[in-house]
Chain A
Amino acid sequence: MVKGTLAFVLLVVLALAATEASRRLGRRGLEAPGLQSFLTVLLGALLGHAGLGLFTENILVTIGPVVLLGLAWVGLIVGLQFDLRVLGSLQPWHRRVGFLLPLGVGLGVAGVAFALGARGPTLVLLGSVAMVTTPRVVDHLSRTGPPTDRSAMRLVKLVAALSSVPALLTWGVGITLVSEPHFQMAVLPGQAATLILAAGLAVILGYATMVLLRGETESVHILALLVGVMALIAGAAELTGAEPMLMAALTGALIANRSPNPHRILRAAHGLEVPMLTAILLLVGAWWHPGGFSLLALGVLVLVRAALLLAAGGVLASEARRRTAPVLVRWLGLGLAPHGPLALAFLVAATRDGSLPASVAVGVFASLVVNHVVGARWHRNVLFPRRSGTAEGHP
């Protein structure tokens, strides 16, 4: 137990050091878009089953709770950002495209994958990952200089910010439906009962958290309570067979919309985001077993998704021209190509229970890297053509 945890924490330190090193390299002009997260996964793979075999099965089982907690944390942050007041301030067509565009891309990718024979967790993973896109590349580059087209930047940020909601819902509901239920109820199928129970628990815990955090100002106490609540969610999810990210996101959304101080809570939650993310990414790499490479995953997530994004970008541009300001840049859809940490978290969650073929995991990972590089190049060459001096943070 101790040995495993020690090995793991030392590796997290190593991964964080690598993150910092790549950030500093980036500062010197060696741009490495999204390198850190992918490097962390590769580091895990190098030391895990697929590489040196330092992570034994026993160790991986021992640190299983860390993964559950990490996944819940990712879900919590997504939920905390789902503020209905902000959504309400958006124009109706912005809300529509923000939710529907990622959903359409994801369903399109899933449809092609289904036609090519993907089923079960693989299908759910491909569809959900395809929906996710990140605003972090734009956020980062916008700090280095103004964009060539503000209208395009706003649209990319909008869709990227909202894409996590349909993606997480699709993942949470989809994976529950294709998994074996942990219990049966007389009146409902097991999967439906799991979803209802998960939602009920998330609401109870969300309200409880809100009451517990009321008037709390010190971030250490906020963090302690959040860790406690996320541990409960992770435990309840493991117990009931529900998806921890979905439960945590529901709890987070409730807090974001009903708590008087959601920003303070979000700030505190962000404090643990990088270590949690690093930990789970390291583990997903360590879990991989050597076992082929899925061309299907790569094909649908890179080629099909890119085609759908380009089409969606065209629709977005024409809507923008009709309603607000025309989009001047070409191939707007490619700006939505980079995935965020949520996509990696889906991969972690799918790999965790061993139901995902190793080849698919490798294929999805390769697709994430390709999409990130393609998207980041588009941003750098088209939207922010001035050379930036630094690399991005986590993709």
Chain B
Amino acid sequence: MRWFFVLIVAAVVGLLRAVLGPEGVDATASALLAFGIVMIGGELSGDMAQRFRLPRVTGYLVLGMLLGPSLAGLVTNGDLATLTVFEELALGLIALTAGGELQLESLARNWRAVLGISGAHVVGIVLLSFGIFWALLGQGLVLGGLPPEAVMAAALLLGVIAVATSPATTIAIITETGARGELVDTVLGVTILKDLAILLLFTWASGLASALVKGGELDARALGALVGEMALSLGAGLLLGILLGAYLTTVGLHPEITVLAVVLVSMELAHTLHLEHLLITMAAGFAARNLFSRAATGFLHALERSSPPIYVIFFALVGAGLDLGVFRTTWIGVAVVVVVRFGLTWGVTAAASTAAGASLPVRRWAWMGFVAQAGLSLGLASRIAREFPGFGSSLAAVIVGAVVVNQLVGPVLWRHALVASGEGRAQEVR
């Protein structure tokens, strides 16, 4: 019955758009309609996913895919552009929660596993996947026939992208299952460290790939500038976190709007100074939680409780932004990339966690927390398409396809890991 009414509403929205025609639809009106249908449908798709013992996030993603430009078209590309600010806002709130989850004491307890797994991913997965993809690409398996230098460049870029994960998905599932424990702390720590490393890695790899394909030398200055930007992002985030913590401790008025302002300040800093929005907000959450524990903890828990609408917006818009058309032409390449990444993530994580002396749940389940991929990988894919005109667009299509699969499978696996390890609980079906 509830879905029937959502379908009626969706039909009315579609009819209105159709009657008035594309030129008759004002951008503001169109974005508001898209936002409304995403919010309503998101609540229901989350419930439905839960009924099938899937994470709510998966429901939001599927809804986004169904409504997006690739399928129903109720959320157009123009709407996605208009609603970017909401997506970034939601990402900032999610990252703030993620930073708030990180506690110094638990990091100190698990530092060996966190560093071991992060290092193994950054070195092991990159090198192994580079080798495998080099061999496969050389056989024309993923992208068809390419010149040798392009094969090497594409393998390098695929190797780096294979390490990327989705911090937003990781934290969303942690929040949804209310998980606490060593597995959570380890995976969250690794995810954040990898998020720092992937940007550096990608800049290095893309410079190297560019030198391979177009000739010339690797630009070390770009890497240096990136390190500077990341340090600045962390610094700005810590400062914002201290301000937020101090405000919550001393004034404490309208905390929800104050946090919104903090996230917007981060977005503005990221846009004007080319800093990393995710890092800023994550560092802010971390500083607020660890330096102003009493005021920030209660507030961050409240933020977690009110997170469902934030996740609806973020994941449904991510889902809508996924280009499903790529599967028509690249499904073999996508399947190969997904299988290779899947196998390497499992093997390398298990080996590294065993070597670091991590507990059994970490050894057995941690890899499932690194499968999901979302915004960062999609952003890197679009940069590849832009920077490598020869093979870039087909490689980007394969990456987007792999992200679609990983983002659908990853949350399901991570939720299963948290419930099976006993750190999280399966939510009751509403």
Q: Interface size for chain A: under 10, 10 to 19, 20 to 34, or 35 or more residues?
A: 35 or more
Partner of B9, one of A3, A5, A205, A214: A205
The reply to whether the CB of B225 lies closer than 8 angstroms to some CB of chain A is no
The reply to whether the CB of A64 lies closer than 8 angstroms to some CB of chain B is yes
Flag the segment in A25-33, A169-177, A226-234, A336-344 that touches B.
A226-234
* Chain A contacts for B198, CB-based, 8 A: none
> Number of residues in B with C-beta < 8 Å to the partner?
51
Is there contact, CB below 8 Å, between B36 and A229?
Answer: yes
Cβ distance A15 to chain B, nearest Cβ, rounded Å:
10
Closest to B40 in A: A228
Given contacts A204-B9, A212-B6, A225-B43, contact A231 B35 (CB under 8 A): yes
Partner of B36, one of A5, A204, A235: A235
Flag the segment in A216-224, A310-318, A369-377 that touches B.
A216-224
Is there contact, CB below 8 Å, between B254 and A228?
Answer: no
Is there contact, CB below 8 Å, between B36 and A238?
Answer: no
* Chain B contacts for A212, CB-based, 8 A: 2, 5-6, 40, 43-44
The reply to whether the CB of B220 lies closer than 8 angstroms to some CB of chain A is no
Per the bound structure, the CA–CA distance linking A5 and B4 in Å amounts to: 36
Closest to B305 in A: A220
Instruction: Tally A-B pairs: CB < 8 A.
Output: 145
Cβ distance B145 to chain A, nearest Cβ, rounded Å:
43
* Chain A contacts for B19, CB-based, 8 A: 183
The reply to whether the CB of B265 lies closer than 8 angstroms to some CB of chain A is yes
Is there contact, CB below 8 Å, between A9 and B39?
Answer: no
* Chain A contacts for B44, CB-based, 8 A: 212
The reply to whether the CB of B163 lies closer than 8 angstroms to some CB of chain A is no
Closest to A211 in B: B5
Is there contact, CB below 8 Å, between B16 and A239?
Answer: yes
Per the bound structure, the CA–CA distance linking A8 and B39 in Å amounts to: 23
Question: Which residues of A138-185 have CB atoms within 8 Å of chain B's CB atoms?
Answer: 182-183
The reply to whether the CB of B33 lies closer than 8 angstroms to some CB of chain A is yes
Is there contact, CB below 8 Å, between A239 and B20?
Answer: yes
Partner of A221, one of B16, B29, B43, B88: B43
Per the bound structure, the CA–CA distance linking A275 and B40 in Å amounts to: 21
Is there contact, CB below 8 Å, between B9 and A208?
Answer: yes
Is there contact, CB below 8 Å, between A235 and B32?
Answer: yes
Partner of A65, one of B31, B40, B258: B31
Closest to B83 in A: A65
Closest to B306 in A: A220
Question: Which residues of A60-95 have CB atoms within 8 Å of chain B's CB atoms?
Answer: 64-65, 68-69
* Chain B contacts for A205, CB-based, 8 A: 9
Cβ distance A222 to chain B, nearest Cβ, rounded Å:
10
Partner of A208, one of B8, B32, B308: B8
Given A223-B309, A228-B38, A239-B33; 8 other pairs, CB 8 A cutoff = A65-B31, A182-B20, A228-B42, A232-B33, A236-B29, A238-B29, A239-B20, A239-B29
Can you name 20 A-B pairs with beta carbons within 8 Å?
Answer: A3-B268, A5-B85, A6-B268, A10-B264, A13-B258, A65-B31, A201-B12, A208-B40, A212-B5, A220-B306, A221-B43, A231-B39, A232-B32, A232-B33, A235-B13, A235-B28, A235-B30, A235-B31, A235-B34, A238-B29
Q: Which residues of B contact A (CB under 8 A)?
A: 1-2, 4-6, 8-9, 12-13, 16, 19-20, 24-26, 28-40, 42-44, 84-85, 88, 253-254, 257-258, 260-261, 264-265, 267-268, 271, 305-306, 308-309, 312, 430
Q: Which 10 A-B pairs have the closest CB atoms?
A: A228-B39, A235-B32, A232-B36, A231-B36, A235-B33, A238-B29, A224-B309, A228-B40, A208-B5, A6-B264
